[in-house]
Structure 1
Amino acid sequence: MPRIEFRRGSLSEQIVTIMRQRIQAGDYPRGEKLPTEQDLIEEFGVSRTVVREAIANLKAGGLVSTRQGVGVFVQRQVPLRSFVIDDPDLKLVNEAIAVLELRVALEVEAAGLAAGRRDEKHLRQMRKAMTAMVEATEAGEDAIQADLAFHRSIAEASGNVHFLQLFNYLGELLIPRTKFETFKITGANREDYLKHLNQEHAAILAAIEGKAPEDARTAMRVHLIGSKDRLTAGAAIAAKVQLVE
Structure 2
Amino acid sequence: MRTIKVEHQKGHEIVGEHLLQQIREGHLEPGQKLPSVVELAAAYGVGRSTIREAVSALKAMGWVDVRQGGGTYVKSVLPSEPRSGADLLFQGAESLVELLEVRKVLESGAASLAAERRTEQDLERMRDALSLMEHGLNVNDTAEGERADVAFHMAIAAASGNSLLIQMMESLSDRLNASIQKSRELWFYKEQSTASRLLKEHQAIFAAIEQQDKELAGAGIAAHLTKVEQVLRAALEKESGSGRD
TM-score per shorter chain, which class? 0.5 to 0.7
- d(CA) in 1 for partners of 2:188, 2:130: 22
Contact 2:187 2:231 in 1 (8 A): no
Contact 1:86 1:183 in 2 (8 A): no
**Counterparts in 2 of 1:15-164, with a 5 A limit?**
86-90=49-53, 92-142=92-142, 143-164=145-166
Residue 209 (structure 1) aligns with: 210
Contact 2:204 2:220 in 1 (8 A): yes
Distance apart, 1:238 and its partner CA? 1.7
Q: Please, which moves more after superposition, 140-149 or 212-221?
A: 140-149
Percent same amino acid at aligned positions? 30
239 and 134 in structure 1: CA distance in 2 versus 1, 3 angstrom threshold = same
Residue 233 (structure 1) aligns with: 234
Q: Please, which moves more after superposition, 153-162 or 167-176?
A: 167-176
Distance apart, 1:179 and its partner CA? 5.1
Count, aligned residues: 158
Runs of 4+ in 1 over 4 A off after TM superposition: 184-187
Amino acid at match of 1:121: Q
- d(CA) in 1 for partners of 2:124, 2:185: 32
- d(CA) in 2 for partners of 1:134, 1:207: 19
The higher relative CO (CA closer than 8 Å, separation ≥ 6) is in 1
CA RMSD in angstroms, aligned pairs only? 2.3
- d(CA) in 2 for partners of 1:186, 1:114: 26
Amino acid at match of 2:174: E
Of 177, 181, 191 in structure 2, the residue corresponding to residue 178 of structure 1 is 181
TM-score after normalising by structure 1:
0.59
Q: Which ranges of structure 2 fall in alignment gaps of 5 or more residues?
A: 1-47, 54-90
Residue 191 (structure 1) aligns with: 192
Q: Which ranges of structure 1 fall in alignment gaps of 5 or more residues?
A: 1-84
Distance apart, 1:184 and its partner CA? 5.6
SS state at 2:185 partner:
coil
SS state at 1:183 partner:
helix
223 and 186 in structure 1: CA distance in 2 versus 1, 3 angstrom threshold = closer
SS state at 2:172 partner:
helix
SS state at 1:86 partner:
helix
Q: Please, which moves more after superposition, 88-97 or 132-141?
A: 88-97
Amino acid at match of 1:163: L
The superposition leaves residues 195-223 of structure 1 with CA deviations (integer Å, 9 ceiling, x where unpaired) of 12111101100100111000001110011
